[in-house]
Amino acid sequence: MKIVSVVEEMKHISRSLHVENKSIGFVPTMGALHDGHLSLIKEAAKYNDYVVVSIFINPIQFDEKKDLLAYPADILRDLEIAKKIGVSVVFKPTVNEMYPSGFCTFVDTEGLPQNLCGSNRSGHFKGVSTVVVKLFNIVKPEIAYFGEKDFQQAVIVTRLVKDLGMDVKIAVLPTVRADDGLALSSRNVRLSGLERGDALCLFEAIKNAKMLVASGVTDATSIKKSCLRIINAKKSVKKVDYVSVVNRDTLLDVPFIDESALLAMAIWVGETRLIDNCSFAECIV
């Protein structure tokens, strides 16, 4: 496994692979790899000649310095995991390599609603869009893999790739969950024992919402109220950023559950921000 820190070296590798007519599957991450990432890497390995994983905690997508500093990082463990699972190249640039002095160009999907994970985090998705475009230009993948947990990110990346005419396919894979249902996230390692228990409220809310829909409830307001009841019952939940039912393509709020509706939630458990979501296609009666 190659470990690359320099943009020009990574570009050189990507170009060489293309000259040899090899396809590149790309999994962009912020490190602290977990089974969710591994499912993306395995899928990338299945359909591509080479798998490139980037590990880069992108400062411009954090609006709170505290959140950035607290983001888990364990690069040695990550490299070990990546090597074991058969990653071809780990691209782990420094902040200065990605954003050298004078950097000033940003990409933004201005027309998409700045709601959900965009509303309480000004500039978050502009930071995501910018780094994704830059990483795609450097790694030049045929397919890039994203997790459904970050569904809004996937919608935005899919949009910008189409809008800017970029040559990369976006694959979105199902959220991977712990045995008890908690969606895997790099941030989970920061939860205390009590918080880890309370964090399950997101999955409980999802199960409950699906049950309601399966029993014939289609009113989004009732669903959201029921989710909030479950979430707010937990002592460690310090704040609810949003509990929304939106159209999965437009990201706009919808009043009723249908095949394209998505329940999306973001909450703070202690000092840790967690998100989760689900759709209802299989339980609509």
Residues of this chain that interact with a second copy (CB under 8 A) are: 7, 11, 15, 102-112, 129-130, 133-134, 137-138, 159-160, 163-167
Q: How far apart are CA 272 and CA 239, in angstroms?
A: 10
Q: How far is the CB of 154 from a second copy (least distance, A)?
A: 15
**What single letter denotes the amino acid at residue 97?**
E
Q: How far is the CB of 107 from a second copy (least distance, A)?
A: 5
Q: How far apart are CA 179 and CA 190, in angstroms?
A: 18
Strand order in the sheet with 143-147: 2-4, 89-91, 50-55, 24-29, 143-147, 169-173
Between 89 and 265, CB nearer to a second copy: 89
Per the residue annotation, which of 12, 18, 34, 37 is the catalytic one?
Answer: 37
Q: How far is the CB of 165 from a second copy (least distance, A)?
A: 4
The neighbouring-strand residues paired with 245 are: 263
The neighbouring-strand residues paired with 268 are: 239, 273
Q: How far is the CB of 7 from a second copy (least distance, A)?
A: 6
Q: How far is the CB of 76 from a second copy (least distance, A)?
A: 27
CA distances from 276 to 147, 150, 177, 205, 284 (A): 11, 8, 10, 10, 20
Q: How far apart are CA 182 and CA 261, in angstroms?
A: 21
Q: How far is the CB of 182 from a second copy (least distance, A)?
A: 33
Between 88 and 109, CB nearer to a second copy: 109
106 and 227 Cβ atoms separated by less than 8 Å: no
Beta carbons within 8 Å of 179's beta carbon, 6+ residues apart? none
Between 167 and 179, CB nearer to a second copy: 167
Between 164 and 211, CB nearer to a second copy: 164
Beta carbons within 8 Å of 94's beta carbon, 6+ residues apart? 5
User: Which value, in Å, is the radius of gyration of the alpha carbons in the chain?
Assistant: 19
Between 164 and 214, CB nearer to a second copy: 164
Q: How far apart are CA 106 and CA 152, in angstroms?
A: 19
Between 11 and 238, CB nearer to a second copy: 11
Catalytic residue flag (residue 34) = no
Task: Please name the residue that has the structure tokens 């500039």.
Answer: 123
Q: How far apart are CA 221 and CA 237, in angstroms?
A: 21
Residues with a catalytic annotation lie at 37
